[in-house]
Every structure is written in structure tokens, then in C-alpha cells.
Amino acid sequence: MNTKVKDITKVIDGNITQGQFNTWKNKYGRVVKLQMEDDDANLLYAYFKKPDISIRSAVLQASKMDEFKALEVLFKNCYLGGDGAIEQEDDLRLNITTAFSDHIQPKPVKVEVL
């Protein structure tokens, strides 16, 4: 087997292939990988793309009515893949999406009036 083919078909964290990860990196630039434990101390992984302005707008609109709905909008629009349990279990999805939401919050800006 060709080494290059072997590398892209290699399964990595979150039961995705290296080839799938490479595709996401090429398409979205930055990919965020999050790790968490389930109730049985198994490590689970999820991959997200950074939200663009239209996704951020949809999340903001949803948050005015229901913060859980806002997290669901964020998950549905930014989640790329990972361990299937995250998609199937509400608690896992909520925890990982909350952590991702915290990660993408605006960074502090220093303002100086001259």
C-alpha cells in the first residue's frame, strides 16, 4: 500500500480519517478540536469550524429567545465531526458546544482614545 494513501486513511481522534481532517483544514482553514470525557471516563473528540458572521448572527438571534437553542444553532452550523456519542447524547453535545462557544468569544481589545 502506498504510504500516502495509508496516511490519509489512518483513523485519528474522534473516529475520523486523516484525509477527512485534511479536507476540513483545506476548506475552513482553522479547525478546532475539543476533547471531553463521558460518564465512563472515555475520551471523546469533536471538531468544529470557526463560525462566520452569518452563523454568529443566527446564534445571536436564537440567544434572544433561548440560550439552549442558540447552542444548538452553533452546533448544527459549526460541528464538522467526531465521536458519534456527542451527536446522540444531549448532555455531551451541550457540554462540548458550550466549551466551543466559550473558545470563540471575542478577544479583549485595548482601546486608547487619543
* C-alpha angle 16-57-69 in degrees, rounded to nearest 5: 65
- Three-state DSSP at 36 gives strand
- Residue 3: pLDDT band (50, 70, 90) is low
Task: Dump pLDDT digits (tens) for 16-44.
Answer: 999 999 999 999 999 999 999 999 999 99
**Phi-psi sector, 51: left (phi>0), alpha (psi -120 to 50), beta:** beta
DSSP 8-class letter at 40: T
The mean of the pLDDT values for the chain is 92
DSSP E strand stretches across the chain = 11-12, 16-17, 31-37, 43-49, 79-82
Residue 50 has a pLDDT of 95
CA dihedral angle for residue 81, residue 85, residue 88, residue 91, rounded to 10 degrees: -110
Q: How far apart are CA 97 and CA 46, in angstroms?
A: 9
Task: Dump pLDDT digits (tens) for 47-98.
Answer: 999 999 999 999 999 999 999 999 999 999 999 999 999 999 999 999 999 9
Q: Supply the pTM of this predicted model.
A: 0.87
